[in-house]
Each structure stands twice: as structure tokens, then as C-alpha cells.
Structure 1
Amino acid sequence: MGRACVWVEREGRVLMAARDAGGWTLPGGGIHPGETGAEAAVREAWEECGARVEVSGEALTLAEGALCFPARLLSLHPSPEGRPVAWVNPRTLPWADDVQLRQVLAARGATAPALALPGRVHRAHVQAERLGFGRSCSPETGRLLRTLAATRPAGHFAELGSGTGVGAAWLLAGMDGASRLVTVELDPERALVTRTVLAGDDRAEVLHGDWREALAFGPFDLIFSDCVPAKRETESLDLLISALRPGGLLVLDNFSPPGQLPEALHAGDPEREALWAHPGLTCTEVAVSAGERVILAARTG
């Protein structure tokens, strides 16, 4: 059945509804049996925002699978669900970085200049789409990587799990000319693609092989651990820490916020426990989006 949401724009501002868990979202929800996506979008606009609207164009499919319909506002009343509403300018920060608004603006060629993808990152995403590879780091994590790389002049960086080069491209975007990056990918086709994406930048070396092979190039100022064996097997933690310089950072993405943890982790997350309990690490969590946390673990010994 799926989900549908609605983009209602008035005088350059877009209608948003308050989330139950805090923050704002485009009005939307599940498509009921017997409903079309457009009918669901119209209904949700009324229920969540008290907005009477009519669909004015074709839907855009967002990354999470929801259909986003442009709509024209006919009238606005108090929300039947009692939700606060807001009219925001989607082309300015922070709204332009909202995960939904960003996708709609990108489809319209109206991405805020500050949020435009670096050229190599864009090329890496194109290759990921071509290969059907859906495990690249998120743009939010990528921008964090770029910022962290910029804090380490002449730094030595490693990425474990190149994919098609998205994470490596973000790191290179923040690195200075004296910095060096080694990235490793087990899949031969993706390793070749990463070499192509990063070609011409002599700061980067792309390896094809097991993630442990990259650690021989250490010690590192930052390790972005982006493959399952490296960050989801706690017995490897000491190996990762030993490849960091004192003060070096281990960066791990794709952790769920507490409100979205799967039932299997309701009793606790052993990966988080292992990181926080390790005597050689000082850890913190960064919420890079509503659905993703990144853990930064600094080597202290």
C-alpha cells in the first residue's frame, strides 16, 4: 500500500506538520486500502494540518519509498489532529537539509548551494546506482566526514569498505594537500569503480582485499569503519584501536536512535556497550539525521 505525503507551497514557503516525536515533517502517512496515493496525500493534508488541497502534478518517489505529491492550497483550518503547523522556507538552512525537502529540491534542480554534492561524491553515487549498491554512507554522514577530515591537517585516513567511493570522496573533499587516504573494498567490481571515481587524486590509494589489509598502512588519525565485519564484530575492536594514533578517531555510522531500535536490541546494543566500556576509548554519539546516529570514538591511550 505504501505511504504518501504532500508538498504545499505558498509564497515560497512549504507547509509542515509537527511530528509526534518532535520536529517537523511534510504532511503524510499510510495509503489506506482502496485509496490512490493522491487521495491519501489529500486526506493526510487535511487530517494533519487542516489543509484543503488539490493535487497539482505528478508524484515524486522519495528515497524511503513515499510518494510526494505537489498540491495547491484551497483553504486552511485548525488541524483535526491538533497538530501545530509551520510554513518554512525550504531553500534556506536548516530546512533545505531536511531529508524530505532536500530530495524534492534536488528533483527540481533547486538544491541549496551549500548542500550541493562535491563532484566526486556525485560520480560515486551515480556508480552506486548503476550497480544497485545501496549501502553508501548518507549525505549527513558524508558531511561529517568532510568536516572531521578538515580538522586533521596532513592527516592519515583510512576507510574500511569503499563501496563505490562515496565515503572516500567525502573524506577527500575535507582533506588538505598533505593528507593521505587508504580505502579498501572486498568486492573486485566495486574496488575497480572506486579506483575510477578517485582517479587523478594522488592523495588516495584504493586497495582490493580484506579490510584488515588497510590497517598495515597505519597508524591513522581517523578510521571510517564502513564494512560489517569491521564495526559489527566486537572482537575486532582492539585491532581497530591499535591502528589509531593516540587521539585518533574511529567513526562508525548507521546506528539507530533509541526510538527506532529493532526489538532485538530493546535489551541493549552490545556494539554500543563494547565501545563505551573500552578503557582505551572516549565515545560520543552524533545525531546526523532523524534516523541515523554516528559514533565517534577517540583513542585515549
Structure 2
Amino acid sequence: MQCPCHTERVSAPTDVPDLVARTLDLSRRRGFITSTRHETGRLLAALAASRSGTLAELGTGCGVGSAWLHSGAPKEASIVSAELDPDLAEDVQEIFGDAENVRVLAGDWSALEEFTPFSLLFVDVRDVMADIDVLADMLEAGGIAVLDDFVPSSFWPPIVDGQVDSIREQWLTDERFAAVEMLIDPDASLIIATRR
């Protein structure tokens, strides 16, 4: 006989906000097999709740990260995101049609520069993460960068696939930031870096 107090082990609540569910549905329809994990999304929502001003996502994809930001952000905060694929950007814009504080642009990440400085910046594009100087200049003092999609490493400097992960090393040691790497799953980590 099973104990009535037995619960299934899960890492977080399984329900998600409506906009997140809609962007996840778009991800499935578009064939994206990876998107922002729920653990990362809940962290984005929690961080967004403490922010004001402009929040941004570099690498919109199907809008999952932006939907999580929206779920936590105060109503007076604005969210801007850029997607390189114009058709995908249009689909994501449609999902956010009723969210007056969210703007999805068709273009590369540099299209967001006119909206700086950001109080929170979610970066989900590895090539962009390498340009730490540009990203640092996009953040206000006290602004937070969240960098996604790292593979955990138990070494220092961090080693992935037999090579030093120079992007992660740079973010964790740059004196302009107070930064920490967080394990969000056994196979995934992210970096949170606050601009001094």
C-alpha cells in the first residue's frame, strides 16, 4: 500500500504561465527541441520581479525566455527581444499581441542597442556571450546578465570537451561583474553576472 503522503519528485511546479505555455507550443510546432528550461524560466521570473526599466532577451527563438520574464516583471517594466528569423519573430509578436509591455523585433541582437541600458539581460546566444565588452555596456549599473546553456564543469578553469571554456572563464573573472555559476540541472548551468 502506498503512503497517501507520497509525492512524485519534480524539480519545480509543473504548471506554467499562459504566455509560457503558448511559446512552448510554438516551439513544438516549429520543431525546436530545446528552449528555456522551466528552472531557468522560474529564475528569470524571480529576477524580473526585482527589476524596473527595460529587460531584454538576446536570442528570442520562440519567445519562451521573454514569456518567463513577462511572468515576473512589474507591469511598468518593458521587455524587448530580437529574433533573426523574421517569420519566427512575427509568430512570437502574435503571441505577445496583448502584452503591451513586450516588444519583439525582427533583427539581430544589435537591434536592441537603442533600448539600452538594460536592468536585466537574458543572453541565450553563445556567440554573443563572447562579446563581453558590448554586453557590459548594454547594462545599467546594478543590471543583471543571465547567460544560459553552459555544460557544468568540476574543473577550474572550466573544461568542456577537452578545452577551456573561455567564455565562462571570462564572465566569472571580469572585475566589472559580481558573477556566479548556478547548476540548474545535472547537465546544465547558467551564469548570473551583476554589473558593478
Would you say same fold, with TM above 0.5? Answer: yes
1:203 aligned residue = 101
Specify which of 177, 180, 184 is matched with residue 288 of structure 1.
Answer: 184
Shift of 1:256: 1.2
Structure 1 residues 135, 228: closer, same or farther in 2, change over 3 A? farther
Contact 2:124 2:149 in 1 (8 A): no
Query: Of 159, 168, 174, which aligns to 1:272?
Result: 168
Q: What stretches of structure 2 of length at least 5 have no aligned partner?
A: none
Amino acid at match of 1:224: F
Deviations 1:84-126 (A, max 9, x none): xxx9621xxxx2327xxxxxxxxxxxxxxx4311111111011
Tell me if the contact between 1:184 and 1:206 (Cα under 8 Å) persists in the aligned partners.
yes
Matching residue of 2:37: 138
Q: Does 1:178 align with 2:76?
A: yes
**TM-score, with length taken from structure 1:** 0.60
Distance of aligned partners of 1:278 and 1:184 in 2 relative to their CA distance in 1, 3 Å threshold: same
**What is the count of residue pairs matched by the alignment?**
193
Would the alpha carbon gap of residues 133 and 259 (structure 1) be closer, same or farther in structure 2, given more than 3 Å must change?
same
Deviation at 1:259, TM superposition (A): 5.4
Give 3-state SS (helix, strand or coil) of 2:48's partner: helix
User: Given that residues 12 and 89 in structure 1 are in contact (C-alpha distance below 8 angstroms), is that contact kept between their aligned partners in structure 2?
Assistant: no
AA at the equivalent of 2:168? R
Higher relative contact order (CA 8 A, sep 6+): 2
Does residue 89 of structure 1 match 2:3? no
Given the superposition, is the C-alpha separation of residues 88 and 252 from structure 1 closer, same or farther in structure 2, using an over 3 Å criterion? farther
Report how far residue 158 of structure 1 moved: 0.6
Q: Which runs of 5+ in 1 are unaligned?
A: 1-9, 14-86, 99-113
1:285 touches 1:296 (CA, 8 Å); kept in 2? Answer: yes
Give the TM-score, by structure 2 length.
0.91
- Report the RMSD for the aligned CA atoms in angstroms: 2.0
Question: What is the CA deviation profile of residues 244-280 of structure 1, one whole-angstrom value per residue up to 9, with x for unaligned ones?
Answer: 0001011001111125964333xx2211111122221
How far apart, CA to CA, are the structure 1 residues paired with 2:3 and 2:36? Answer: 31
